[in-house]
Amino acid sequence: MSPSSRPAHCCSGGSGSDTAGCGPAPKTEVSQADLYGSYSGPHGARLELTAVGGTSVTFSVKNWPKEEGPGILTEKVATFDGAGAWKLLNAPGEDGEVGLVFDGLDTGARGATVTELRVGEEDGRTVLFARLGDPDVCRVLTLS
């Protein structure tokens, strides 16, 4: 998939904590096979979801933000390259959600990073996204 020309976030304010309309439309009934491929996001962030056989699924990232807050949408933040295993976190019929488990990541010394992504759809294409920061303000990291 190629980098998107759309903004990496939406900036509409919200009243209350209803975030149902924040970000891409959620996608349900997602299988691992639906998600294999390359995704790109802001500031050169790249995510590759792969299968290595059987039930083993891996990922690699390049220029992945070392932070998880909304600043990663607008600022150039420190990044890293890494790899690990991923899995679907949702139960059947629920909105798709992917969990990333990084190999050898010392989150205590380095701080948090984005490790959970929702599965959505934009313009008929599958995208991965994370809502960042205050739930009353719609800020979304989108990987397409």
Please say if the pLDDT value at position 13 is more than 50: no
DSSP category for residue 109: H
pLDDT digits (tens, 9 = 90+) for 26-76: 999 898 889 999 999 999 999 999 987 766 799 999 999 988 889 899 888
Instruction: Compute the distance between CA of residue 133 and CA of residue 36 in angstroms, rounded to an integer.
Output: 27
- Which residues have a Cβ under 8 Å from the Cβ of 23 and sit 6 or more positions away? 10, 118, 120, 129, 131, 138, 140, 142
pLDDT digits (tens, 9 = 90+) for 75-99: 888 999 999 999 999 988 899 999 9
